[in-house]
């Protein structure tokens, strides 16, 4: 038997705050450096950091895209520090941070530079807790939260969000810490997806049981069912897809204008109940002037396709549109509109009305008023709105964009695009405070940006979303976009 004894580990309990910058790997090197320096300054200025540092009860561990703070003086220290950091982040919108907290064993060691360092299960668990969060979240392990639950001061701010499974298959029960002003009250995306998957599996199981039990009944009505399926598969003669409009302007920066005109025409068409209009989410994959239109129409399940080209020069605009019957790849209608910016609204309305006429769609009196309505009389406000709309579409935060893709990430679903959209929409409502549609889109962008953690999930953002939605509804109580925006706020 060996006489060598195992060295004593010198384990102690550490109260650990693990911080991580969300989206760090997608940033340029100089952007990464700037954000890390910004984070370092914020952390150093917190009262809990300074107190523990002065007492010699704090160990700092850099992680490249964040840091680990190990407190050994007070179990509440990491929570208080996290709230101080969360408050400071309200003035630093570009710094999107998630935090995880846990108490557990840590072991002092010497690193490769012979400097004092820490490792241990406590740090590993805190990291796993943090990885389950999105930007703005302060997540606690249930083990850590149980100690805080004994105090009335903390209990109202602790919200059990259930179990999560990390990439190693380990299950953890998590608690979300937030107040009215700090933290992120939304359910973390990883837990949301896990619950959705569970519901899906449960639904499949229930469906299989139901199908087995009712098999005989389905067999008896098979003939009528087949007729129903065949009827459903028939493409409606009043169905249409509006493909992305091509920007023919010499200034390629005017691409936003073509995107906006397409979206406005699509929106007007979608308000005609007798038409089946495919959403922008389904059509955005097809660039301007695509080949094989019949094949595209078949994939989208429509009988008609609208193509368009927009050329903007100064205050003059040329819009060329053509309506195509997909089955024969033939033109049903085409027109060219040369207008001043002050009259661009009439183009959108005339195109929608002409398409309805060509497809023999019935228009109610209210629908005629809706598609002919001018959202604003201020041309500068409308231009700012179109710029904001273009960025909102890129960020996945516009009425016609892909919210699920925005929620779980994509090449253009970035805070930069969301912030740019916010900037231009605020400019639009500043130029025309009665611009209800711009108020509605601003509210929708804020609410969905908050939920998807693309925008910093702050109390100020929630309040802006509420005020914008209520302003839109006050200006136009029957505006569908305003009602949708208020729903997303709630």
Q: Which CATH number fits domain 12-187: 3.40.50.620, 3.30.70.1230, 3.40.190.10, 3.40.50.720?
A: 3.30.70.1230
CA gap 39, 224 in Å, rounded: 65
- Please tell me the CATH code under which domain 235-374 is placed: 3.40.50.10070
Residue pair 109/117 in contact (Cβ under 8 Å)? The answer is yes
pLDDT of residue 219: 43
- pLDDT category at 234 given cuts 50, 70, 90 is low
- pLDDT higher for 38 or 374? 38
Which of 29-43, 119-133, 361-375 has the highest mean predicted lDDT (pLDDT)? 29-43
- pLDDT category at 416 given cuts 50, 70, 90 is confident
pLDDT tens-digit readout, 465-475: 999 999 999 99
pLDDT of residue 4: 45
Task: Please say if the pLDDT value at position 6 is more than 70.
Answer: no
CA gap 32, 30 in Å, rounded: 5
pLDDT of residue 436: 93
Q: C-alpha angle with apex 324: 322 to 329, nearest 5 degrees?
A: 135
pLDDT of residue 354: 85
pLDDT of residue 115: 61
Task: Please say if the pLDDT value at position 225 is more than 70.
Answer: no
pLDDT of residue 82: 95
- pLDDT category at 199 given cuts 50, 70, 90 is low
pLDDT of residue 231: 39
In order, the DSSP letters of 240-304 are EEEPPPEE--SSGGGHHHHHHHHHHHHHHHHT-TTSEE--HHHHTTS-SS-S-HHHHHHHHT-SE
pLDDT of residue 18: 95
pLDDT of residue 2: 45
- pLDDT category at 224 given cuts 50, 70, 90 is very low
pLDDT tens-digit readout, 361-379: 888 888 888 888 888 889 8
Average pLDDT over residues 95-103: 93
Average pLDDT over residues 110-114: 58
Q: What are the strands, taking DSSP E only, across 346-458?
A: none
Average pLDDT over residues 435-439: 94
pLDDT of residue 176: 92
**To 10 degrees, what angle do helices 77-89 and 29-44 make?**
120
Bridge partners of 33? none
Average pLDDT over residues 484-488: 89
pLDDT of residue 54: 93
Q: Which helix or strand (DSSP H or E) is residue 363 part of?
A: none
Task: Please say if the pLDDT value at position 442 is more than 50.
Answer: yes
- pLDDT category at 406 given cuts 50, 70, 90 is very low
In order, the DSSP letters of 320-344 are EEEEEETTTTEEEEEEEEEEEGGGH
pLDDT of residue 285: 74
**Average pLDDT score, the chain:** 81
Average pLDDT over residues 279-306: 78
Q: What are phi and psi of 378, to 5 degrees?
A: -95, 110
pLDDT of residue 19: 94
- pLDDT category at 403 given cuts 50, 70, 90 is very low
CA gap 118, 101 in Å, rounded: 16
Task: Please say if the pLDDT value at position 48 is more than 90.
Answer: yes
For the domain made up of 375-490, give the CATH fold.
1.25.40
Q: Which residue has the tokens 């023999």?
A: 360
Task: Please say if the pLDDT value at position 434 is more than 90.
Answer: yes
Which of 206-210, 283-287, 373-377 has the highest mean predicted lDDT (pLDDT)? 373-377
Which of 119-123, 222-226, 243-247 has the highest mean predicted lDDT (pLDDT)? 243-247
Range of lowest pLDDT (42-56, 106-120, 179-193, 281-295) = 106-120
Domain boundaries, given as residue ranges, for the chain? 12-187, 196-233, 235-374, 375-490
Q: Give the alpha-carbon dihedral of 382, 384, 386, 388, to 10 degrees.
A: -140
Q: Which residue has the tokens 């962008």?
A: 445
Q: C-alpha angle with apex 292: 410 to 238, nearest 5 degrees?
A: 85
Average pLDDT over residues 437-459: 87
Which of 25-34, 76-85, 269-278, 349-358 has the highest mean predicted lDDT (pLDDT)? 76-85
pLDDT of residue 85: 95
Which of 50-54, 229-233, 393-397, 457-461 has the highest mean predicted lDDT (pLDDT)? 50-54
CA distances from 339 to 284, 320, 345, 377 (A): 26, 11, 10, 15
Helices (H) and strands (E) counted in the chain, each on its own, are: 19, 14
């Amino acid at each position: 038997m060996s006489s060598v004894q195992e060295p004593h580990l010198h384990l102690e309990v550490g109260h650990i705050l693990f911080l991580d910058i969300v989206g760090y790997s997608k940033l340029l090197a100089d952007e990464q450096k700037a954000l890390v320096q910004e984070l370092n300054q914020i952390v150093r200025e917190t009262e809990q950091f300074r107190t523990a540092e002065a007492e010699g009860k704090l160990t700092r561990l850099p992680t490249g895209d964040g840091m680990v703070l190990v407190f050994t003086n007070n179990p509440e220290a990491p929570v208080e520090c996290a709230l101080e950091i969360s408050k400071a982040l309200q003035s630093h919108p570009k710094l999107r941070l998630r935090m995880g907290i846990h108490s557990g064993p840590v072991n002092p060691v010497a690193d490769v530079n012979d400097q004092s360092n820490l490792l241990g299960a406590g740090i590993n668990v805190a990291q796993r807790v943090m990885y389950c969060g999105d930007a703005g979240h302060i997540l606690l392990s249930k083990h850590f939260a149980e100690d805080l639950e004994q105090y009335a001061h903390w209990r109202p701010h602790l919200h059990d969000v259930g179990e999560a499974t990390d990439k190693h298959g380990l299950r953890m029960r998590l608690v979300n810490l937030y107040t009215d002003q700090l933290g992120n009250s939304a359910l973390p995306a990883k837990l949301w997806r896990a619950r959705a998957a569970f519901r899906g599996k449960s639904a499949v199981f229930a469906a299989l049981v139901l199908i087995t039990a009712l098999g005989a009944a389905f067999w008896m009505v098979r003939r009528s069912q087949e007729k129903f399926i065949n009827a459903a598969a028939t493409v409606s003669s009043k169905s249409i897809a509006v493909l992305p409009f091509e920007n023919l302007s010499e200034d390629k920066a005017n691409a936003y204008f073509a995107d906006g005109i397409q979206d406005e025409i699509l929106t007007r068409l979608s308000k005609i109940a007798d038409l089946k209009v495919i959403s922008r989410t389904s059509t955005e994959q097809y660039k301007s002037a695509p080949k094989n239109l019949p094949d595209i129409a078949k994939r989208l399940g429509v009988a008609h396709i609208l193509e368009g080209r927009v050329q903007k020069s100064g205050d003059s605009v040329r819009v060329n549109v053509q309506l195509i019957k997909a089955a024969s790849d033939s033109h049903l209608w085409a027109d060219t509109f040369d207008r001043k910016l002050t009259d661009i609204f009439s183009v959108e309305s005339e195109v929608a009305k002409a398409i309805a006429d060509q497809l023999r769609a019935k228009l109610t009196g209210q629908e005629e008023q809706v598609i002919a309505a001018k959202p604003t009389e201020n041309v500068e406000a409308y231009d700012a709105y179109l710029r904001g709309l273009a960025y909102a579409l890129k960020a996945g935060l516009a009425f016609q964009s892909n919210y699920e893709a925005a929620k779980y990430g994509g090449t253009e679903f970035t805070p930069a695009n969301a912030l740019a959209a916010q900037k231009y929409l605020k400019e639009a409502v500043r130029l025309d405070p009665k611009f209800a549609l711009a108020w509605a889109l601003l509210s929708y962008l804020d609410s969905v940006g908050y939920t998807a953690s693309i925008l910093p999930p702050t109390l100020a953002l929630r309040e802006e979303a509420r005020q914008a939605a209520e302003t839109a509804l006050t200006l136009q109580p029957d505006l569908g976009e305003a009602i949708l925006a208020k729903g997303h706020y709630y």
